[in-house]
Amino acid sequence: MLEPEISVEDFARLRQQENAPLLLDVREPWEFNTASLPDSILMPMGDVPSRAHQELDPDQPIVVLCHHGMRSLSVTMWLRNQGFEHVQSLAGGIDHWSRVIDPKVPLY
């Protein structure tokens, strides 16, 4: 099984590939509206239990994103327990992405 977390550098490389993982943003709508990454799907953490099995493919690679990486790691572990084997949390969250990969993404 994959490591539970993926570095922003490794994810930046994966995003360039043809079959890039789905980017699942588990922050709140106000956070998403403040700063987000293109092609991400907003599913606030509290909505994941009721929406995951209807809206996500358990066989698809998924990278989970939050502000600093704590909520996303929690959601990653929950999804793995639900049979989603190809899920990883973005280490450091969108904050780390902004600092290391793309400074145009606002910090908050």
Residues labelled as active-site residues: 66
What is the distance between the alpha carbons of residues 80 and 20, in angstroms, rounded to a whole number? 19
What is the distance between the alpha carbons of residues 76 and 97, in angstroms, rounded to a whole number? 18
Return the structure tokens found at 10. Answer: 């490794």
CB distance 29 to 98 below 8 Å? no
- Beta strands 22-25 and 5-6: pairing type? unpaired
Beta bridge partners of 88: 63
